[in-house]
Amino acid sequence: MNNIFSDRISDVPRSFIREIFKVAVDTSVISFAGGLPNRDFFPVKELQAAANRVFESAGKEVLQYSNSEGYPKLREYISKRYLEKKGLDIPVENILITSGSQQGLDLLGKTFLNEGDDVIIEEPGYLGAIQAFSVYKSAFNPVPVGEEGMDIDCLKEVFSAKSPKLMYTVPNFQNPSGISYPEENRYAIADILNNKNTFLIEDDPYGDLRFTGTDKESFGKILPENAILLGSFSKTIVPSFRLGWITAPSLDVMERLIIAKQASDLHTNYFIQRVICQYLADNDLDKHINKIIKVYNSQLMAMVKSIEKYFPADVSHTHPEGGMFLWATLPEGVSSMKLFDLAIEDKVAFVPGNPFYVNKDKTNTLRLNFSCVDEETIETGIKRLGKSIEKLLS
């Protein structure tokens, strides 16, 4: 029976995070595993009102097939917001609405990658990107990232030996580590990619969720001819609508992405595009985001304070300025997978570092999500996890 399946799907790893959800359904388990936005901030009433207005004003129109590029007014909104927030002048015709930014990754793989083509990814890196590009049997070239951004020497080594077509980055509040690339690091990366036949993908689902510090320049501004930007409303409005977008640096790239999109699903849910667009017209998105930021920041501070109180001193962690994740590192040689098994027994869940690496089976790192757990529960969960770490170390 196995002979009937394609080679490409056989090589794609399962999502370890989705598997953890099966364990975390036990209500007694405190979960730091998911990458979920806090449902308390879903604007239910406002979206319901927007949906009613769309039905009243557009009726049967919104239930019909639509164009592949996406609703023009929604694309105009995205273009205007890029100009206002990031100083990026991205024409509407260079914006493609997608079924979440995850589809954007799939379209990029479909458009650019042949079997064996080189792709640069972050180490640790976003599992969804690893899955998406694995489908196209690409060759991964991981480059370490940390508090100082991407390892420039390692990046130079990759380019000295390979000719990667794509380079995938999450430079703002990275998933899984929570780090952000410093501005000087971004310019150093841009210097390496200048005049290279490589497209840099800037995936930025968390960029609006900044708690402290200042915004850094987008690669769209630093490296305009090579940068492809991915965005999403999943972390700022709601995730279940699966509404994102991709920007192309040229109409030539855009044309090929549209062809890939048409081959995938013809167009993104038109009704949902209209509802989101109506919501954005009727409400202040930044005011809504500021409510999220205030609570997420308090939750992050509660997690940091609890880690410093309950974790052994030789466990380190990143210092995110925003986003939804914190990354912890156990002492050298200590397995986070073994810790996971102990932690589940102690009724607390997290994501071990293993799924965020390629070609590494044993890691001493772990991802902690703080966006979906209140401050009191965070302290209880981190206390439990601290005891699990002590058990493992002893």
The CATH number assigned to the domain holding 59 equals 3.40.640.10
pLDDT at residue number 18: 63
Cα(62)–Cα(272) distance, integer angstroms: 9
What local confidence, expressed as pLDDT, does residue 345 receive? Answer: 93
Same domain, yes or no: 38 and 61:
no
Q: Are 320 and 173 in contact (CB under 8 A)?
A: yes
- Strand 348-349 and strand 30-31: pairing? parallel
Q: Domain residues for 262?
A: 44-282
Judge if 272 and 353 occupy the same domain: no
Segment-wise mean pLDDT, segments of 10 residues, the chain, 394 residues: 74 66 73 91 98 95 96 98 97 98 97 97 95 94 97 98 97 97 98 96 97 96 97 97 97 97 96 98 98 98 98 96 97 95 94 91 94 96 97 92
Report how far apart, in Å, the C-alpha atoms of 38 and of each of 22, 34, 215, 288, 302 are: 19, 11, 23, 13, 16
- Choose the final residue of a domain: 282, 297, 317: 282
C-alpha distances in angstroms, 99 versus 32, 126, 243?
26, 18, 5
Q: What is the pLDDT of residue 360?
A: 84
pLDDT at site 359:
83
State phi, psi for 245 to the nearest 5 degrees: -160, 165
If asked whether residues 12 and 90 sit together in one domain, one would say no
Q: Both 59 and 192 in a single domain?
A: yes
- What per-residue confidence (pLDDT) applies to 2? 64
CA distances from 124 to 287, 329, 363 (A): 33, 12, 10
Give pTM, 2 decimals: 0.94
Pick the closest to residue 37 from 292, 348, 367 (CA basis): 292
Task: Check which CATH number belongs to the domain holding 330 and give it.
Answer: 3.90.1150.10
Q: Report the domain count for the chain.
A: 2
The whole-angstrom separation of Cα 145 and Cα 364 is 16
User: How far is the C-alpha of 22 from the C-alpha of 349, rounded, in Å?
Assistant: 11
Q: How many CB atoms lie within 10 A of CB 374?
A: 14
Q: Residues 19, 123: one domain?
A: no
State the pLDDT at residue 133: 96
Query: Residues 247, 116: one domain?
Result: yes
30 shares its domain with 129:
no
pLDDT at 126: 95
